[in-house]
Structure 1
Amino acid sequence: MLLLCVPKPYRDEARLRKLYGDSAKRIFIPRTTKELANLVKEREETALRLEKAEIALIKKANAARNKFYRNNPQSAGVRRWFTTGRAIQTLNDQNTGNGKDMSSHNEMTTIDSGETVRQSNEPREAVLPDIQFLPEIELQDNVNDAEGGKNVPAHEEEEIKAEDLDYVHPYGLRPDLADVRGSVAAQWIPAEDRPHHRPIGNFGRRVDTIRWTRNRLKELNKEIFQLRRRIRRGEADPLPAAFIEFDTQEAAHAAQQVVVHHLPLQMAPGLLGIRPEEVIWESLRMKWWERIIRRLLILCGITAAIIFWSIPAAFVGLVSNIDYLTKEVPFLHWVNDLPSFVKGVIGGFLPPFALSVLMALVPIILRICAAQAGIPSLVIGELFTQNAYFAFQVVQVFLVTTITSAASGALQSIIENPLGIQSLLAQNLPKASNFYLSYILIQCLATGGTGILQAFSLIRHQIVAKTSDVPRTRFKTWHKLRPARWGGIFPVFTNMGVIALSYACIAPLILVFCAGGMAFMGLVWKYNLIYVFDTSTDSKGLFYPRALQQLIIGLYLAQICLIGLLILNKAYGPMGLVIALLLFTGLIHFLLRDAISRLMWNLPQTLALEEQIQEEEKIKLAANNDSGEANGNDAGGAAASYFDVEQAFGDEEEEAELEDTDEDDHHVVSNRGLEGAGNIRMALTAWVKSAAIEKFKTEADKYGINEYLRRAFAFLRNGDGEEPPGFLIRWLHPEEHEDFVALRKLLPQEERPPIAYKEGDKRATYEPPELWLPKPTLWIPRDEARVSRQEVAHTRLSTPISDLGAELSKSGRIVIDNIDAAPFEEHRLLL
């Protein structure tokens, strides 16, 4: 359970445990980590910049290498060496052909942008021009590395650790290659071509990206480690929130239903079933007054957006009436010259499609607003999005479009005859349903077809992923399934139901289109939920009942529409009946919502005992039946159980008569003339009923109606209780056949091992991610020039990195040959 707005005296584990008792298993009080969050975010961004720079360096070096070999096929096995000041060439006499004496002294060699390395005492050539070519020296006594295919000197084989086989100098190249930054890539590209950028903190001066990001990562790692240690010591202030884990589900729900604090808006609301990955940690720091102000401002902004969003929606409604626009707007006369098919597409297809695209941007904006309003959970944010997006849908897609579409067709007639507005609107409002027929077809059929084809996913997997130069992007593409964001899905189809209910009395044909479209979308979503979409949050089924409650808005609008049409046609008698029906619908809606609202969020305490009570009732019933059969009271068992022979009947009447005798005689009125009249009336009524029933049975048997009804009810009941009940019985008695106990038995009863957290697993605690996120892991492709080997060896001192599973092809494209070798951990929660 998550508690919000916890006052300072209760931000203590001991006091919270005293408040909730022994049922509180673990208590987590998060602390302020804003500075740490900024550092962790900067480290992630810096690591990604380093990864892109590494990939760019690898691609540049290999492109230069391949180009050189294409232009100089006779130089196969020869490598180039670039330096900033001079080039050093190590050659044997037989390779160079000159017999100069080589000096034997230590020499400082400048390699790759000014970094100096002292070379060993060995023969050196005199200073040569900037570009020289070095023959590749093959080692005779090398052992082949099975993993990476590189050669390692035999005398060093015993000194190599198992985990370092791929990254031991000289990376499968010349044994005298300097083990300094970029020495492998420097054989093919100069220092000026290395990735670089101009950070603001360096006053815009150019720096080498790889070197700068490595140093910055080392600094950030140190700062993050020190800050985490201070926070865990308790030096940071606690946030006004607390996570409490209980030993049982019943205890958690009991604690959630208790009013905890004596002041309003303190330690409330208590959110149940929330997991660490669902928490919006930025919202936990807000105080109660800040949360109220933010929510008020966000709601005002959404209301203003609903109003001003009607401008483009109204334009879409105007475009749907293309015949009127071509007549009244001069520069659109050319539309009349188009073929009828094209005009039909423009007037019938483009407006609904544009409206769908326009409304698709709204959920994204609403989710951002939900986070800014202080909503602490992603699930609650989706519910907030569902409510706000449904308001957008009803106002923009239905009301504004209906009014503009109907008014645009009758605008000229209204201007010419203002007094005839009643009859004109009455004639044109039903015609506006043509737009919604196209809208429902596009939303259901086109969206359903796209959902089956998964065109966007196809483009993402086959085009975007393959053209990406970052292996991390391909890993996310293939390992991350899209979640079903119900806050932006349910309102679209709920609004279709509202439109269908509203136009059911005006244009009943819309019911056929809506029913067919909904049936098709049901099949599509069944397929997608099983094979396409993924979920990482548990909504506890709250979206569907909320959509059902929102569907009642369609009844309100339908009745208001009928009232308006009846007023326009001056039918005041039926208008009064519909107004009474509108009031009755509102009353039923209020009572229904008040009855089930608490059951939506809270778990009733009786559910824990319901199954036990049902089992006890069955045992008692079986025991009574057995005792009745043993005593021989099969025929009269019901009467014997109904009448209690030990009960003294008539005593109450005698006592009442004794009390009446004390009263005065003038208060007693004799009616002996009417005595027995009630019994005669009851007897006559029973005789008439029995005679009518017998007559009906006789006629029903004569025409075979009884047999037909018996078979029909037997088909619906599916037997006498031994078999599962039929549809009619389940629909008439849901409290018996679809209650909690019956539905729980339908779930798979598989024994699963209890969830056990590993020791030191930070994901088992409710802490912000910045307190436990590990160092970012980089993934670069392996290349033939062996640049990636040296980059891995040097970069892993700053952050984890790997070049396994990805390769750079000869054409310069990155190929993922083993996606399972990606160095990223995937944690899956099985529900």
Structure 2
Amino acid sequence: MRLEKAEIDLIKKANAARNKYLRKNPQSANVLYQTARKETETSSNNEITTLDSGETVRQPNSPLEVTLPGSQLGVDIENQARYTSVEGSPKQVNLEEEEELKAEDLDYVHPYGLRPNLPDVRGSVAAQWIPAEARPHHRPIGNFGRRVDTIRWTRNRLKELNIQIFKLRRQIKRGDVEPLPAAFIEFDTQEAAHAAQQVVVHHLPLQMAPGLLGIRPDEVIWESLRMKWWERIIRRLLILSGITAAIIFWSIPSAFIGIASQLDFLTEKIPFLHWINKLPSFIIGVISGLLPPFALSVLMALVPILLRICAAQAGIPSLIIGEFFTQNAYFAFQVVQVFLVTTITSAASGALQDIIENPLGIQSLLAQNLPKASNFYLSYILVQCLATGGTQLLQLFSLIRHHIVAKTSDVPRRRFTTWRKLRPARWGGIFPVFTNMGVIALSYACIAPLILIFSAGGMAFIGLVWKYNLIYVFDTTTDSKGLFYPRALQQLIIGLYLAEICLIGLLILNRAFGPMGIVITLLGLTGLVHFLLRDAILPLMWNLPQTLAVEEQIQEEEKAKLAVHNDDGEAHGNDAGGAAASYFDVEQAFGDEEEVEIEEIDEDDHHVISNRGLEGASSIRMALTAWIKSAAIEKVKTEMEKSGLNAMLDKMFAFAKSGDGEGPPGFLAKWLHPEEHEDFVALRKLIPTEERPSISYTNGDKHATYQPPELWTPKPILWIPRDEARVSRQEVAHTRLSTPISDLGATLNEKGRITVDLDAAPFEEHRMLL
């Protein structure tokens, strides 16, 4: 902000001149220190103190005159109690405004005991130390390049803009403007919102469509909402055409990088590159192996930035939808440029001379050189996974940003932003890079299986790095509903298509028509399965099924019925035929009752009959058997604990644990039964049951949440450092009439450096305590 930087510049200049003056006149330092700390004693009995330097301190009912380098300040204290003078025009002091300013900043008193609403006479406090020519200035184009005082000009400009903004907001709230061709609808429940979104609203096409769910106010791209439906269609068509053209013409530098990977071919055919062969073999290996993949990574890093701009210009209404657009378009860039173009150019350049010499042998030459292009992608995966992962762990730019740039910055706001706001993860430019690696690995899985080992190791390392970064380095500012990952999985199937197409091409080059027919059939089956899978899963990705509202209740009822059925089965099957068990069985018959039951039973039926003559014998046998078993089990447990076998078995059982008990299920159980352990109800139980956070609305009005930010955005708060010369105190009093400003939490020390207390920053911040 221009005004904030100008205020800080003024404070630093004034304090530098003040410190220089006090070093030359040390006897004045004590008097100035006492004068600057006199807060509200504006009419106390002071005697004039005359110093050798010519400085005077006021006495009762006399004007305050301070003779120091710069302009002279003279103000009648008695008259100032009633009036303030600006350019000779007396104005009545607004006592209500004065009280309001004091309430906003209770710590503020005038540096020299004057009223807090003293007019800005060219910076009366700063003017004691620096001349008016040294104040911050600039030359506006609208002022024909003439020099103006930055602080005074910006304050006046802010007052004019505040009035214009107030009038425009009042006009919009009255409804005297053209409405946007968009509507925000709020529902009481999430189920109701999803049910309404799946309803066809209008009978005409492109009317009241498309409908988006779960869009937060800070995710809305308001410039896109102002577009008409026909404008959005035209823009989308032009943007998609431009991206298609860019994919085609971007292949020129990508092809050059692919040719550069064949260093032997270049040094042999290009004369002025012969000196590369004289380099050590290690350097040649780095140039041919690591430099081309690194150059390709840098070239492709510019694409996501351009695609996000294209998404905004295409009429994408939300930041999340824009990231989805970036993910799809960037993945197309990655597959075409990084994989297809580089593979073809790398293989063709290695066999170019042989093709020129023997054009009829192009089939065999391409069949031999195409698998060799996998060496380039082995290096590419190493560069992307290991080098990128190491860079993400090191965070060199963040280290410089936090410990060098932030500490040397003169703007307290910049330090606050650096230390309190984490960088967001832009998934639209992250997922396609690693998805393309999976595509490359699947494509070369049959041609060069070694690439699977490199890709698996690299992906595992990248997974660890991103787990750490998501906890400590990056922040999430938008809600994607977890849709980036399933999109990446669907894009990964492109690797299967390309692998089968590559196999078909190699089989054609080798004239193996029998296997070629089998692979073509497999390609058709892959497309059919992909279509059916996409058709089944796609509605579940965007819409919430209505059965989820009662799914948990249904499962609990089924579990209760199953538990009752199991209890009944156990009650009927507990009789083991033992003597003691039969003795206490109330359903067992004796005497005449037994004879009656025997007559009713068919003679062919056979039942187990206990012999009471041997009562006690089975108990002794069972007790002895149980004692032997328990002793053997205890002995085995002791030996297993000593040998460490027990810990290994516990890990194996935990790996395959079903999760029926109290603990969580093992990996094998979740892998074999995802319908049970990764069900909606099972996953929802993992979410902590906490109360929903209370939502604070802007200005207490919940209806202003989905209004354009121009209608409710508050004035930005300027943050300047407090100084010993107390220039900041007067600047705060004058500037806050135009915009909020504070000097709390930032201090200018004696060396001219700014120290910042981030906890005392005048900004509202919602922090999450871990």
Band of TM-score, shorter chain? 0.7 to 0.9
Structure 1 residue 169, shift from structure 2 partner? 2.1
Q: Which residue of 1 aligns with 2:173?
A: 232
Q: Distance in 2 between matches of 1:160 and 1:748?
A: 45
Q: Distance in 1 between matches of 2:200 and 2:574?
A: 54
Q: Distance in 1 between matches of 2:443 and 2:654?
A: 36
Q: Which residue of 1 aligns with 2:709?
A: 769
Q: Distance in 1 between matches of 2:768 and 2:316?
A: 23
Structure 1 residue 372, shift from structure 2 partner? 0.9
**Partner-residue secondary structure (3-state), 2:724:** coil
Distance 1:411 1:232, change over 3 A: same
Structure 1 residue 528, shift from structure 2 partner? 1.1
Q: Distance in 1 between matches of 2:560 and 2:101?
A: 74
Is 1:801 the equivalent of 2:769? Answer: no
Q: Which residue of 2 aligns with 1:53?
A: 6
Give the stretch that moved more between structures: 165-174 or 570-579.
165-174
Distance 1:67 1:566, change over 3 A: same
**Partner-residue secondary structure (3-state), 1:746:** coil
For the 8 Å contact 1:414–1:420, the answer to whether it is kept is yes
Structure 1 residue 827, shift from structure 2 partner? 4.2
Is 1:825 the equivalent of 2:764? Answer: yes
Is 1:352 the equivalent of 2:293? Answer: yes
Deviation digits for residues 89-146 of structure 1, max 9, x if unmatched? x987786899xxxxx9999999999999875799xxxxxxxxxxxxxxxxxxxxxxxx
Q: Which residue of 1 aligns with 2:527?
A: 586
Structure 1 residues 737-776: aligned runs within 5 Å? 737-752=677-692, 755=695, 757=697, 760-761=700-701, 765-776=705-716
Is 1:618 the equivalent of 2:618? Answer: no
Q: Which residue of 2 aligns with 1:190?
A: 131
Distance 1:411 1:112, change over 3 A: farther
Q: Distance in 1 between matches of 2:115 and 2:655?
A: 85
**Residue type of the partner of 2:176?**
E
Q: Which residue of 1 aligns with 2:609?
A: none
Structure 1 residue 368, shift from structure 2 partner? 1.0
For the 8 Å contact 1:170–1:179, the answer to whether it is kept is no
Is 1:736 the equivalent of 2:676? Answer: yes
Is 1:561 the equivalent of 2:498? Answer: no
Q: Which residue of 2 aligns with 1:205?
A: 146
Distance 1:503 1:57, change over 3 A: same
Deviation digits for residues 717-759 of structure 1, max 9, x if unmatched? 6369557655555434322332111221222223446546587
**Partner-residue secondary structure (3-state), 1:815:** strand
For the 8 Å contact 1:52–1:470, the answer to whether it is kept is yes
1 or 2 for the larger relative contact order (CA 8 Å, sep ≥6)? 1
Q: Which residue of 2 aligns with 1:643?
A: none
For the 8 Å contact 2:289–2:376, the answer to whether it is kept is yes
Structure 1 residues 310-709: aligned runs within 5 Å? 310-625=251-566
**Residue type of the partner of 1:381?**
G
Deviation digits for residues 378-417 of structure 1, max 9, x if unmatched? 1111111100010011111111111111111111221122
Q: Distance in 2 between matches of 1:295 and 1:405?
A: 35
**Residue type of the partner of 2:748?**
L
Q: Distance in 1 between matches of 2:108 and 2:768?
A: 35
Q: Distance in 2 between matches of 1:108 and 1:720?
A: 85
Q: Which residue of 1 aligns with 2:580?
A: none
For the 8 Å contact 1:58–1:783, the answer to whether it is kept is yes
Q: Which residue of 2 aligns with 1:284?
A: 225
Q: Which residue of 1 aligns with 2:18?
A: 65
**Partner-residue secondary structure (3-state), 1:270:** coil
Q: Distance in 2 between matches of 1:70 and 1:430?
A: 77
Q: Distance in 2 between matches of 1:634 and 1:97?
A: 115
Q: Distance in 2 between matches of 1:380 and 1:403?
A: 33
Q: Distance in 2 between matches of 1:722 and 1:108?
A: 86
Q: Distance in 1 between matches of 2:304 and 2:418?
A: 23
For the 8 Å contact 2:6–2:150, the answer to whether it is kept is yes
For the 8 Å contact 1:112–1:181, the answer to whether it is kept is no
**Partner-residue secondary structure (3-state), 1:64:** helix
Q: Distance in 1 between matches of 2:299 and 2:7?
A: 40
**Residue type of the partner of 2:721?**
P
Q: Distance in 2 between matches of 1:276 and 1:462?
A: 34
**Residue type of the partner of 2:505?**
G
For the 8 Å contact 1:112–1:191, the answer to whether it is kept is no
> Alignment length, in residue pairs?
658
Q: Distance in 1 between matches of 2:304 and 2:214?
A: 24
Any unmatched runs of 5+ in structure 1? 1-47, 80-89, 99-103, 123-157, 636-710
Q: Distance in 1 between matches of 2:678 and 2:54?
A: 95
Q: Which residue of 2 aligns with 1:784?
A: 724
Q: Which residue of 2 aligns with 1:170?
A: 111
**Residue type of the partner of 1:389?**
Y
Q: Which residue of 2 aligns with 1:644?
A: none
Q: Distance in 1 between matches of 2:63 and 2:251?
A: 79
**Partner-residue secondary structure (3-state), 2:700:** coil
Distance 1:93 1:252, change over 3 A: closer
For the 8 Å contact 2:181–2:227, the answer to whether it is kept is yes
For the 8 Å contact 2:704–2:712, the answer to whether it is kept is no
Over the aligned positions, Cα root-mean-square deviation in angstroms equals 3.7
For the 8 Å contact 1:241–1:284, the answer to whether it is kept is yes
Distance 1:238 1:173, change over 3 A: closer
Distance 1:624 1:298, change over 3 A: same
Structure 1 residue 343, shift from structure 2 partner? 1.5
Distance 1:243 1:410, change over 3 A: same
Structure 1 residue 576, shift from structure 2 partner? 1.1
Distance 1:561 1:421, change over 3 A: same
Q: Distance in 1 between matches of 2:661 and 2:376?
A: 52
Sequence identity percentage: 81
Structure 1 residue 181, shift from structure 2 partner? 3.3
Distance 1:793 1:584, change over 3 A: same
Any unmatched runs of 5+ in structure 2? 33-46, 56-60, 80-98, 577-649
Q: Distance in 2 between matches of 1:253 and 1:783?
A: 57
For the 8 Å contact 2:439–2:494, the answer to whether it is kept is yes
**Partner-residue secondary structure (3-state), 1:750:** coil
**Residue type of the partner of 1:534?**
D
Q: Distance in 1 between matches of 2:78 and 2:539?
A: 85
**Residue type of the partner of 1:208?**
D
Q: Distance in 1 between matches of 2:659 and 2:146?
A: 87
Q: Which residue of 2 aligns with 1:810?
A: 750
Give the stretch that moved more between structures: 619-628 or 301-310.
619-628
Structure 1 residue 263, shift from structure 2 partner? 0.7
Q: Distance in 2 between matches of 1:111 and 1:801?
A: 28
Structure 1 residue 594, shift from structure 2 partner? 0.8
For the 8 Å contact 1:256–1:270, the answer to whether it is kept is yes
**Partner-residue secondary structure (3-state), 1:242:** coil
For the 8 Å contact 1:607–1:740, the answer to whether it is kept is yes
Q: Distance in 2 between matches of 1:725 and 1:169?
A: 69
